[in-house]
Amino acid sequence: MTFKTFFKYRFVVYVLAIGFAAYAVVWLLNNATRPADEGNFGGPILGLTPEQNRKFFLAKTFFEKKFTPQEGLGPLFNERSCAACHGDPDEVGGEGRDLSSTSIMNFARRVPNSEVAKKPLKEVIATLGKRDVDFFLTQGGPSLQRRSVTTEFPDLYPSEVQIDFEQIPIDAELQSNRHAQIIWGAGLIDNIADGDIINNALKEVQEHPDLAGRPISAIDRFTELPRASRFGWK
Ligand code: HEC
């Protein structure tokens, strides 16, 4: 390039140089602050912005935090942190292995005046719908709460105040012991593109129509737009 052509295009050269320098700074800022466990189980998914990473670690702190009665724990409860049920020490988001403390017992009964309530449970259990079942919502809900703050934090309450931990109501005909599943990788599953799920389903229909799965559409809670849904509970 002669001096004359450089002079003619010098602005282009400056703009390119400044653009490149700005890109390098952003790249460095992004990558110098990458957390060590990025992309690992229990770590943030790859490719988050620094702000998203900050939020991830903030949320992880809350996931591990043991709540106290002063912070709203109780009066009845099962565990003091999410991590107590979903993970072992040093392992956030794993499976709840101690079934006696990490599982949840859910119970319900048939609505007394529902048609199916008149028949033996065995005959109708497969056909029970939400309308036939009462989840004890006006009496603390369907999950057994095994622990009480007055028993475990006696110093915080006058001795005459005693809250008994809950027991399964005698009229709870339906009981279901729920296992605390691994929730590692939920972010990875959430990040599978809708298009990939739909394409896979189409491929399955062509290749193995008898085994093909169908994607279900659900409303995304944050964007309020429909998405291919991917988790167990809808
Ligand atoms: C007392 C134990 C316990 C605690 C504490 C607990 N969980 Fe769970 N969690 C469970 C069990 C059991 C299930 C399975 C529920 C089912 O199958 O009905 C579950 C399910 C889940 C699921 C999967 C839900 C789905 O629809 O697939 C997520 C996500 C989850 N828990 C997150 C959390 C978070 C976040 C916290 C803290 C705010 C938390 N859990 C606290 C026991 C617990």
Quick one: which atom of ligand 1 is closest to the CA of 78? Answer: 1
pLDDT of residue 177: 93
Quick one: which atom of ligand 1 is closest to the CA of 80? Answer: 5
pLDDT of residue 233: 55
Strand partners, 52: none
- The runs of H, that is alpha helices, within the chain are 3-8, 10-32, 50-64, 82-85, 99-102, 121-124, 149-152, 186-190, 194-207
Strand partners, 108: 174
Q: Residue 145: how many CA atoms within 13 Å on its side-chain side? A: 18
Cα 21 to its chain centre, rounded Å, is 40
> Ligand 1 within 6 A of 92 CB?
no
pLDDT of residue 38: 66
Q: Structure pTM?
A: 0.75
pLDDT of residue 33: 64
- CA neighbor of 94 nearest in space, from 102, 83, 79, 105: 83
**What's the CA angle centered on 71, arms 66 and 76, to 5 degrees?**
75
Domain ranges of the chain: 3-60, 69-178, 192-228
> Ligand 1 within 6 A of 232 CB?
yes
pLDDT, block means (10 residues), the chain with 234 residues: 76 87 81 66 84 93 95 95 85 84 93 85 87 90 95 94 91 92 83 92 94 88 89 60
